[in-house]
Chain A
């Protein structure tokens, strides 16, 4: 079945620097890749997603890139700010046995140092 690996598990960057979180997936049939942000004590919320027919998508300071050949996708956050501190989850979505399923990465704790 599908497996999603997420790295690193913890990332500490200086405020203003960029942060990159990477995920790899195993099933080439996966075709939807969302990223969720979970702030401390809050629910996960979608911040950006990408579908397999697109290689890159940007939304202000965040961007996601997808390499279907290598089966990996990455979240890029530029000009990091204290409010970016959170746990970030990637996921890969695919249909399995006529059912749609999101397979989640283990999460990355992003720490923004002032």
Chain B
């Protein structure tokens, strides 16, 4: 069974540009979560999608947005990039809404210069 896959693995952008990160969940998983992990720090919750709808978002500005497609894959878009957006962005999927294991992708390392 294929795991959660993210693309690209690395992304370098300049300040003010837009970044698009992609996530494909495990087959059969309907929930997708996005997290930001700054270097040496913990997991900060960004967004949660389930069945194509945004269910919850973390304490991030509106320039962080995303969507979930009918096949449950997801995109994270970051507009007007700032230097402090440089981080590892992790996507996780789970089989159902709620109390179950979340499987993480390998992450996209975004560097803003």
Contacts and interface: CB of A to CB of B under 8 A. Distances in A.
Q: Check if A and B associate.
A: yes
Interface residues of A, number: 23
Given A44-B104, A45-B104, A100-B98, 14 more contacts: A32-B98, A34-B101, A42-B106, A44-B43, A44-B90, A46-B102, A89-B42, A93-B98, A93-B99, A100-B97, A101-B56, A102-B45, A103-B45, A104-B45
B48 A51 contact: no
Contact of B106 (A31, A43, A101, A106): A43
A96 B57 CA distance: 12
30 contacts: A32-B99, A34-B101, A34-B102, A43-B90, A43-B104, A43-B107, A44-B104, A45-B104, A46-B101, A46-B102, A46-B103, A49-B101, A51-B99, A89-B43, A99-B48, A99-B55, A100-B55, A100-B97, A100-B98, A100-B99, A101-B45, A101-B48, A101-B56, A104-B42, A104-B43, A104-B45, A105-B42, A106-B41, A107-B41, A107-B42
Contacts of A96: 56
